[in-house]
Amino acid sequence: MLKRYLQRLNETIMKLSNRIASFLLIVLIYGCSQSLIISTNIPSPLVNQVDNIRVLVNYDENIINYQFKSTNIEKNESPWEIEFNDSHKKLFDKILNGFFNNSIQMESNSEPLNDAYYIVINIKLDKFEFLTPSLASNDKYSVWLKYDILLTNTEHEYSEKWNITGYGEQETASLNQNQALINAIDLALRDTGANLTIKMEEEMESIVSAIT
């Protein structure tokens, strides 16, 4: 009887200690992780709007809702969790609505329209990379963004693939590290908008001629 009681007690202690160890491990892993929420506000671009061009925009899932989770690259580096929400989508919405007064976002799995001439723009996030001061041995955060953008017309006679990039950096100086990285991401998103605007202006003539 006593032997059975001691065995049960031993099993309970073992279970409890396993749970405590797991809990401590979770606290150690996630307690040190750094979470950021990005809510970049991109202004409307100061550009000439093009009338009478119908644009259908098809966003990839990683544009609509992107979450970045880093793995521990170095022992002294805490993992990062960056919630972009719809910051990428808002960026492209602002730029495209600045150029075209008639742009519509395609619903997922919807069939493309066949009764009108329009430009379809497919946008996908290809890369998001960043360097921290400890990884780069300097005192700044650097952020790179790369997007694949495919433009086609109804008959697919016109097809253009653009690689649009964005870069942002922020010195740590008096900022805390989370704020410095948020600022660097904000700058990279704004830079993407700047590069897309420049590309759009360069290519606008061929876009217009593709559907007229």
Partner 1 sequence: MQRNITLSSLLLMTLISSCSTTRVDEEVNLPFELIEGQSIVILSDSYHTGNKTEIDFMNCLNKNLKRKQNKFNLIPTNQFKDDFYPWFEPSTAPQNAEQLPKFLKKQVIKNKLENLKIKYIINITGETTTNSSSGALSCAAGPGGGGCFGFAWWDDTSSYSASVWDLNEAIVVGNVSASVTGTSVIPAIVIPIPILARTQSNACEGLSNQILAFFS
- List of residues contacting partner 1 (CB under 8 A): 42-48, 167-169, 171, 173-175, 183, 187, 190-191, 193-195, 197-198
Q: Do the Cβ atoms of 7 and 15 come closer than 8 Å?
A: no
Q: Do the Cβ atoms of 129 and 144 come closer than 8 Å?
A: yes
How far, in Å, are 42, 95, 131 from residue 202 at the CA level?
A: 21, 14, 31
The continuous run of DSSP H or E covering 141 comes out as strand 140-153
Q: Which one, 91 or 210, has the nearer CB to partner 1?
A: 91
Q: Which one, 2 or 46, has the nearer CB to partner 1?
A: 46
DSSP bridge partners of 57? 105, 121
Q: Which one, 58 or 197, has the nearer CB to partner 1?
A: 197
Q: What is the nearest approach in angstroms of partner 1 to the Cβ of residue 79?
A: 27
Q: What is the nearest approach in angstroms of partner 1 to the Cβ of residue 80?
A: 22
Q: 């880093």: which residue's tokens?
A: 70
Q: Which one, 96 or 168, has the nearer CB to partner 1?
A: 168
DSSP reduced 3-state for 58:
strand
Pairing of strands 140-153, 119-131: antiparallel
Q: Which one, 31 or 43, has the nearer CB to partner 1?
A: 43
Q: What is the nearest approach in angstroms of partner 1 to the Cβ of residue 178?
A: 15
Taking alpha carbons only, the member of 39, 58, 154, 56 closest to residue 104 is 56
Q: What is the nearest approach in angstroms of partner 1 to the Cβ of residue 49?
A: 10
Q: What is the nearest approach in angstroms of partner 1 to the Cβ of residue 137?
A: 16
Q: What is the nearest approach in angstroms of partner 1 to the Cβ of residue 201?
A: 9
Expressed in percent and rounded to 5, the helix, strand and coil fractions of the chain are 40, 30, 30
CA dist 37 and 71 (Å) reads 18
Q: Which one, 48 or 159, has the nearer CB to partner 1?
A: 48
Token pair listed for 185: 């991401």
